[in-house]
Structure 1
Amino acid sequence: MKIAVIHGSTRENSNTEYLTYHAVPKEKGTHIYLRNHYVQPIIDKRHAADGFPVAKDDHEKLITKMLEHDIIVFSTPIYWYSMSGPMKIFIDRWSQIMKTAHFSHFREELKKKQAYLIVVGGDNPRVKGLPLIQQFNYICQFYGMAFSGYVIGKASRPGEMKKDLAALKAASLLLPTEI
């Protein structure tokens, strides 16, 4: 099974990346760092006669790459009790992708995927991060994608993730062993 990791952290070598690498080491999957790509925010034209404007950015390239994989791991820090801005923009644009003719297969392809979520926050994340987990569950339900598991880590300052041994262990056990 092929694994894609969509990294939403804006900081290189972040706590979220550290935890994610315990689930999917760099050499085991395709790691896509949203901070290294330009994705425009959505301009909501779902109901406009002329539809969505063409965006000159990396979103379609990222979607194509993501769809080549069987398992998608979404990795994001908890920012103000939700996903990071880059992750939110990436997912918001899925509304536009569904209306794009050459991605008419998008929703059907997502039904074949397994999704996992890895999040890290500093303010009681195992409680206050649960709405984010539920949000991803709803996103997966909408697309018919299996939401197969998640890990919540506790860290704020750089390097603190190393102290959350329970989350590191959970991350190492998150994905099926046959991968």
Structure 2
Amino acid sequence: MKILALYGSSRKHGNSELLADKVLENIEHTKRYLTDYHIKPIDDKRHEPGGFSDSIDDDYNRLISEFLEHDVVIYVTPVYWYGMSGLMKNFVDRWTESLRDRELQFKEKIQGIKPCVVIAGGDLPYEKAKPLVQQFELIFDFMGVKLEDWIVGDGNKPGDVLNDEVAIQAASELNAKLQNLVFN
């Protein structure tokens, strides 16, 4: 079982990452930070005669190839203005190109990947992150995939999320589910 943790925060070692670290404790996984990749915003050409035939000079294709080699992807993002981070949204927006690449078979391959979401934020995140969870659910539903699990943690200042007992308990439960997938 190959697990990828995809970090969408503009800051490394923030609350969303700390919560994901609890989820992935003692589980072999690959960490990828979107801040380490140059991924240009989508240039939506889906209605143009050539479509997305132009190759974009960035890191998206390299990352999406690695992404598709995993069985589980943990999407890790802080709540940024009541949605996912811009880095994460930019990555997901580029799926439009991947969906039109017949050789990649993106939709078929992503249907074999189990998605989980880890979210952290301040300002009443248990209430205000609900639209973000729903956004992920709708994205995965469009792809023909069920969101396996999600966690929201309360944390604004660095390290705050580690004091959120509800989130830490949820992280422990998701860790057990992942361990069961990995080891059974």
Structure 1 segment 74-153 matched on structure 2, within 5 A: 74-103=75-104, 105-153=105-153
Identical columns (%): 37
Kindly indicate whether the alpha-carbon contact (under 8 Å) linking 1:113 and 1:146 is maintained by their aligned counterparts in 2. Answer: no
* Secondary structure in structure 1 of the residue aligned to 2:151: strand
Instruction: Measure how far apart 1:101 and its partner are.
Output: 3.9
Between the aligned partners of 2:60 and 2:108, the Cα distance in structure 1 is 18
SS at match of 2:148: strand
Alignment correspondent of 1:16: 16
- The structural deviation recorded for 1:100 is 2.3
1:66-77 correspondence runs (5 A): 66-77=67-78
In structure 2, C-alpha distance between the alignment counterparts of 1:163 and 1:61, rounded to whole Å: 37
**Structure 1 residue 158 corresponds to structure 2 residue 146:** no
**Which runs of structure 1 show a deviation greater than 4 angstroms over 4 or more consecutive aligned residues?**
none
Corresponding residue for residue 25 of structure 2:
25
Structure 2 residue runs of 5 or longer lacking an equivalent are: none
Counterpart Cα distance in 1 of 2:101 and 2:83: 27
> Offset at 1:26?
7.8
State the TM-score, normalizing by the size of structure 1: 0.95
Q: Which moved more, 1:81-90 or 1:162-171?
A: 162-171
| CA displacement at 1:81 relative to structure 2 | 0.2
- How far apart, in 1, do the equivalents of 2:68 and 2:58 lie? 18
SS in 1 for 2:157: coil
CA positional deviation for 1:146: 2.3
1:25-44: CA deviations, max 9, x gaps?
Answer: 38621111101110000011
Could you report, residue by residue, the CA deviation over 1:68-110 in whole angstroms, capped at 9, with x for unpaired residues?
A: 111111000000000001000000000011122431x110011
Q: How many residues align?
A: 178
2:153 counterpart letter in structure 1:
G
- Residue 51 (structure 1) shift: 1.1
CA distance in 2, matches of 1:44, 1:25: 39
Tell me by how many angstroms 1:169 deviates. 1.6
Contact 1:71–1:113 (Cα < 8 Å) also in 2: yes
Opposite residue 95 of structure 1, the aligned amino acid is: T
In 2, Cα distance between equivalents of 1:40 and 1:107: 21
Partner of 1:59: 60
Aligned partner of 2:36 in structure 1 is 36
Q: TM-score, normalised by structure 2?
A: 0.92
Instruction: Output one character per residue of 1:9-30: Cα deviation in whole Å (capped at 9) or x when no partner.
Output: 1111111100000111386211
Secondary structure in 1 matching 2:38:
coil
Q: Secondary structure at the match of 1:32?
A: strand
